[in-house]
């Protein structure tokens, strides 16, 4: 799926999933310090962590892939240092990230009757 030897960066701060090629390219310059056309793959998670967008230059143009989970949420990798804006991961970690995780439904807390004060 991912070409061998491609660097993969995951942004640690959520982004607006309405962003397209230009705005995501700007975020790559600001947060990672690379140009979007450098050949690396850049992943961005949405604010609710149910959507992901991946920007990649294939040699002839920019490609933008997106995925939205039906259930669960994407889990971001741990930051390498405090205050980090992105993390570099290997292709196996990216594939695990793209699989998402299924969160088991939790039971709702019981509602308590209001106390009567005499």
**94 closest CA partner among 65, 59, 116:** 65
Angle among Cα 58, 61, 67 to the nearest 5 degrees reads 70
pLDDT along the chain (118 residues), means of 10: 82 95 95 92 95 94 94 86 90 84 44 61
Report the pLDDT value the prediction gives residue 98, as an integer from 0 to 100: 87
- The pTM of the full predicted model, rounded to 2 decimals, is 0.78
pLDDT computed for residue 76 by the predictor = 85
pLDDT of residue 104: 39
């Amino acid at each position: 799926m991912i070409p061998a030897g491609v660097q993969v960066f995951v942004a640690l701060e959520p982004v607006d999933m309405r962003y397209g090629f230009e705005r995501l390219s700007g975020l790559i310059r600001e947060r990672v310090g690379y140009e979007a056309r450098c050949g690396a793959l850049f992943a961005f998670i949405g604010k609710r962590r149910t959507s992901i967008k991946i920007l990649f230059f294939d040699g002839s143009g920019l490609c933008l892939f997106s995925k939205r989970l039906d259930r669960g949420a994407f889990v971001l990798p741990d930051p390498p240092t405090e205050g980090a804006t992105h993390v570099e991961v290997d292709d196996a970690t990216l594939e695990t990230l793209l699989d998402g995780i299924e969160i088991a439904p939790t039971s709702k807390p019981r509602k308590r009757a209001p106390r009567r004060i005499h």
